[in-house]
Amino acid sequence: SIPRNHPDYYTLRILNAALGTGMSSRLFSELREVKGLAYDIQSSVIFHRDCGAVVISAGVDPDKAEEAIKVILEQVFDLINGLSEEELYRAKQLTTGRLLLSMEDTYSSIQSMGSQYLLTGNALSTDSITRNLLAVTSHQIKDLAKNIITEDNVYLSIVGPYKQRSRFNTILTR
């Protein structure tokens, strides 16, 4: 995806929250609640100085793996169409709420500031970070999704009793 210093850093954090953070996220709602394909599902973002990744992990019955992967990819590629205002609001509330809660813990607070400083050369206040997260627009989400969600940017790593990887390769090519 994008490195830590990228201008769309806060946009990706909100996009990720809507996609797979918490029980109101797209992945949790669709794969667990609606379709019953996963017990556990979430997405996370990894930021480095020169690159990044959006990672989706799921606990799925091996017999439902192919269907689950298809639904995950549908949800991911649907982000290109943007978020509803409700999804955007929930993602912002979740992200800023978790940020504020994490800052109540001394270790988390120091770790956050240290990480910011190492990766960007600067450590922002919690208020500044919150303002940046709340300023993200649905247009920014849509533009970022169009830039980072492409067929050639999707990789699959799967653990399970599978002998033929070709059955999964066909799912990845839309």
pTM: 0.92
What is the chain's pLDDT, residue by residue, as a tens digit (174 residues)? 999 999 999 999 999 999 999 999 999 999 999 999 999 999 999 999 999 999 999 999 999 999 999 999 999 999 999 999 999 999 999 999 999 999 898 998 899 899 888 888 899 999 999 999 999 999 999 999 999 999 888 999 999 898 877 778 888 776
Helix (H, G, I), strand (E, B) or coil at 173: coil
- β-strand 38-47 against 52-60: which pairing, if any? antiparallel
Task: Measure Cα distances from 136 to 9, 59, 88, 161 in Å.
Answer: 10, 31, 9, 42
